[in-house]
Amino acid sequence: MFTGLIEEIGTISSVAKQSQGAVISVTCTKILDDLKLGDSVAIDGACQTVVKLITNGFDVEAAKETLDLTTFNDYKAGKKVNLERAMPANGRFGGHIVSGHVDGVGIFRRIENQGLADVYYFEAPENVAKYIVYKGSICINGVSLTIASLEGNIFSISVIPMTLQETNLSNLSIGDRVNLESDVLAKYVEKFVNAKDNKAGNITMDYLNEHGYLS
């Protein structure tokens, strides 16, 4: 599990494409402190397993499905990526619950300055947009953010200067693709209230509303 609080911006040093995936090498410093073989690292929000440690970074083996469902297919040497190690059991919990399982790829559409913060607008695919709610949480390239506005499949988030400094969101250009992970809690609510999937249960929309989950 991850929190969506980025620890470091790493750099893609190489991408070795294979028939059923790719070996991706990442250069970094900070997260190497206690990184071990087999550890999980979220790269731009996608959970990957460390398969090799090198002097100044690590390697992961991205499966074909990962390449198909994320922005990993866009990676080239020099690309800046957000990095976060899995949350330790004794660590403080910030951000929101992030699984590291990317739901889909969104498109960066425009930016507006609103004084202290910049407002970034994105277009989400339908399978992600249906879980987005105003003031809810979303993970963009591994960054935990709050929905500032929502209209159809277009949503916005407010980005303060510190977030821009500590993540690769500052490198986005109009039209760039980003990894999106919607709030896992929304998926569970959908599962519980779906009559087809929950025939034996007694959780309904009225039940959720009565107990304050929808208010």
Q: What is the tens place of the pLDDT at every residue in 47-60? A: 999 999 998 999 99
Is 47 part of the annotated catalytic residue set?
yes
**Structural domain span for residue 54:** 8-85
Is 11 part of the annotated catalytic residue set?
no
Residue 90 C-alpha from the chain's centroid: 22
- For 133, the token pair is 């709610």
In single-letter form, the type of residue at position 16 comes to A
Is 93 part of the annotated catalytic residue set?
no
Does residue 204 lie in a domain region? no
The CATH number assigned to the domain holding 144 equals: 2.40.30.20
Same-domain pairing of 76 and 22: yes
Of 151, 211, 171, 118, residue with least CA distance to 12: 171
What does pTM read for this prediction?
0.86
Same-domain pairing of 25 and 76: yes
In single-letter form, the type of residue at position 39 comes to D
Does residue 55 lie in a domain region? yes
- Annotated catalytic residue, options 14, 49, 99, 158: 49
Same-domain pairing of 81 and 132: no
**Percent of the chain clearing pLDDT 90 (strictly above):** 74
Does residue 51 lie in a domain region? yes
**Percent of the chain clearing pLDDT 70 (strictly above):** 89
pLDDT value of position 185? 73
Is 211 part of the annotated catalytic residue set?
no
| Integer Cα distance of 77 and 49 in angstroms | 20
- Annotated catalytic residue, options 63, 86, 117, 186: 63
- Annotated catalytic residue, options 40, 99, 158, 170: 40
Is 40 part of the annotated catalytic residue set?
yes
pLDDT band at residue 87 using 50, 70 and 90 as cut-offs: confident
| Integer Cα distance of 136 and 154 in angstroms | 14
Residue that has been written with the tokens 């995936």 in this structure: 21
Can you tell me the mean pLDDT for 79-97? 85
pLDDT value of position 89? 72
Q: Which of 85, 115, 140 finishes a domain?
A: 85
* Whole-number average pLDDT of the chain: 90
pLDDT value of position 123? 98
Does residue 95 lie in a domain region? no
pLDDT band at residue 19 using 50, 70 and 90 as cut-offs: confident
Is 63 part of the annotated catalytic residue set?
yes
Same-domain pairing of 123 and 60: no
Radius of gyration in angstroms for the set of CA atoms belonging to the chain, rounded to a whole number: 18
- Annotated catalytic residue, options 101, 148, 158, 192: 101
Is 173 part of the annotated catalytic residue set?
no
Helix ranges (DSSP H) in 64-155? 64-69, 126-129
How many structural domains compose the chain?
2
pLDDT value of position 175? 98
